[in-house]
Amino acid sequence: MSSVTSPRVGRWATLTTVSVTQLMVSLDATIMAIAVPQAQRDLGFSSANRQWLITAYVLAFGGLLFVGGRVGDRWGHRRTLMTGLVGFALASAVGGGAHSLGVLLSARALQGAFGALCAPAALALVTLHFRSPQGRSRAFALVGGVGASGAAIGLLLGAVLTQWGSWRWCLFVNVVLALVALLGAFIVPNDDEHRERRGLDPAGAVLSTAGWFGVVYGLAHGVRSTWTDRGTWVPLVLGLGCEVLFVALERGRRGALVPLHLVTARTRLGSLGALFLASAAFFGVSLFLAVYLQSTLGYTPIRTGVMFLPLIVAIAVSASGASARLWSVVGPRPLIPVGMILAVMASVLFTRLPATPNYWGSVFPGLVLMGLGLGLIVAPASASATALLGGGEVGAASALVNSAQQIGASIGLALLNTIAVESTSRATGAGVGTGVATLHGYSVAFWWAAGLFALGALVSLALLESGTPIAPAEAAT
C-alpha cells in the first residue's frame, strides 16, 4: 500500500479484495455444474468423465489448502493472494479456450491449486487488518455472507452464462473477477511484519494432500459406483491412513504445517465443527433443491437459479445484520446454535416438497429460513476460528476454516446422495411410482440434513465458550 493511503482506505481495499476473491473461489465449485452438458457436447467427452470437471477443482483446492495457508504465513498473505489471483486468471483463460478434455481438466485443477493460495490468504488479511471486535465482526459478516451464498450465485451465474452465451464464459468470468481483486490488492496494506520464517513442512504437505485426494476420490467413486467396489474403499482407506499419519507427524512438532494446538482450543474447535456440519448439510440440500426444481417441476436452469435468490438475500441480511452487530457483543455461542436451529426448520420444511409446482408455499419459506440460519453460522464461526492468533498462524487457521467447509461439503454430498439414491431404490422396489419414489428419496435426504444441522447445534453449544474471542489488546485497534 502506498504510504499516503490512509488506514481506512486500506481496510476498505482489503474488504473489497477479499470479498471478490471469496466470491470467485466459492462460485467456482458450482458454476460449471449447469455448464457441463454443453461442454460435453462441444468437446465430445463421455458421461463418465463429466463429474471430473467438478472433482478436479475440489481435489486440488481442498488438497492444497494447508500448503496455501503455510505459504501465506511464510511469504506474506498479500503477496500470496496476488500470486494466486494471477494464476487463477491464467488457468481460467486456458480453460475457457480449451479444445480438449485434458486441457480443460488441467485448467480446472490449476484453478483449484491457485484458489488454495487465494482463500487462506484472503481470510488471513481480514483477521490481520480488522483487529477490533466491531470491525472484525462486520468484515467477517460480509466475507462470510459472500462465501455462503457463493454456491447459489454460481448456479445462477452458470445458468445465465451457459444459456445466453457459452460454457466457456463460466471460466472466462473468473478472469474478470481475478483482475478486479488484483487491482484492489495493490491498495491492501502490506503484512510483511507478520511473516513467519518457518519451513514449508514437505512431509506434512505430502501426507495432507495425499489424504485429501484419497478421501475425495473414494467418495466420488462411491457415489457413481458402489461403496464395496475396490475403486471406492481402497482410496478411502489409503486417504484416511495418510491423514492419521499426518496428525501423528504434526503432533508436538516444531514447524508443523498445521500446529495441532490450533484445533484444541474449544471455541476454535466448535467453530470448525459448526462449519463442517453446516457445509455437509447445506451443499446436499442445495443440490437436491436444484434437481427438484429442474427435474420435478420442469424449471429451466436460469429460472432455477433465480429461485435461489431469496436464499442469497436472506444470507446477506442475516450476516450483515444480526451477525455483524451481535458477534462483537455476545460472541458466537448464542448465534451459531440459533442459526443451526433455523436451518433444521428449513430442512424439515423441504421434506414435504410436492410433485406439483408450489414454489411460494413449499420452497420459498425454507430458502428464507436456510439463508437466515447460514448467515448466523458462517460469519461468526469464521471470525471465531481465526481470532486470538499471531500473524504466523493466521494462514494455517484460515486454511482450517476453508478445509472444514470443503471436507464437509464433499462428505455431505456423498452421504446425502447415497441416502437419496438408496431410499428411492427401496421405494421403487416396493412398487411405488418413479416420481413419488424420487420425492421420497429427497425427503429422506432432507431429514438427514436436518439431523446434521441439529448435531451442529449440539456441538456448538457444547464447545463454544461465552463472550467474544478477542484479546484485550486488540479491542482498541
What does the pLDDT read at residue 474? 46
Which of 177, 134, 194, 152 has its CA nearest to residue 18?
177
How far apart, in whole angstroms, are the C-alpha atoms of residue 43 and residue 20? 30
Same domain, 14 and 59: yes
Residues 216 and 342 in one domain: no
Q: For residue 101, what are the contacts with CB-CB under 8 A and spacing of at least 6? A: 43, 45, 49
Is residue 197 assigned to a domain? no
Distance CA 437, CA 427 (A): 5
The CATH number given to whatever domain includes residue 94 is 1.20.1250.20
The domain boundary, picked from 239, 256, 273, lies at: 256
d(CA 61, CA 112): 4
Q: What number of other Cβ atoms are within 10 A of residue 161's Cβ?
A: 21
Q: Residues 321, 215: one domain?
A: no
Is the same domain home to 104 and 183? yes
Q: Enumerate residues 6+ apart whose C-beta is below 8 A from 203.
A: 249
- Indicate whether 76 belongs to any domain: yes
| Alpha-carbon span 413 to 287, nearest angstrom | 8
- Whether residues 233 and 262 share a domain: the answer is no
Beta-carbon-side half-sphere exposure of residue 317 (alpha carbons within 13 Å): 12
Q: How far apart are CA 64 and CA 135, in angstroms?
A: 30
Is there a single domain that holds both residue 213 and residue 330? no
In a domain, 350, yes or no: yes
Looking at residue 32, what is its pLDDT? 83
Residues 303 and 390 in one domain: yes
Q: Are residues 152 and 264 in the same domain?
A: yes
Tell me the residue range of the domain where 228 lies.
Answer: 205-256
- Helix or strand or coil: residue 351? coil
Q: Is residue 198 in a domain?
A: no
Say if 471 falls within a structural domain: no
Given 217, 236, 256, the domain boundary residue is 256
Which of 197, 232, 256 is the last residue in one of the domains?
A: 256
Specify the length of the chain in residues: 477
Is residue 370 in a domain?
A: yes
Instruction: Give the pLDDT score at 195.
Output: 66
Q: Does some domain include residue 473?
A: no
Give the DSSP H or E segment for 337: helix 332-350
Q: How far apart are CA 409 and CA 234, in angstroms?
A: 21
Whether residues 155 and 28 fall in one domain: yes
- Residue 232 sits in the same domain as residue 308: no
Task: Give the pLDDT confidence of 160-217 residue by residue, as tens digits.
Answer: 998 888 999 999 999 999 999 999 999 988 766 666 666 677 888 899 889 988 988 8
| Per-residue pLDDT at 252 | 67
C-beta separation of 311 from 370 below 8 A = yes
- Do 236 and 262 sit in the same domain of this protein? no
Q: Over the chain (477 residues), what is each successive 10-residue block's mean pLDDT?
A: 58 90 88 84 82 83 89 90 98 96 96 94 87 76 82 86 91 96 91 66 87 86 79 92 89 76 86 95 89 87 89 88 73 92 98 92 96 92 78 78 87 86 90 90 96 97 79 43
The pLDDT score that the predictor gives to residue 204 is: 86
pLDDT at 5: 54
Do 214 and 105 share a structural domain? no
Overall domain count for the chain: 2
C-alpha cell at 159: 445458468
474 located within any domain:
no
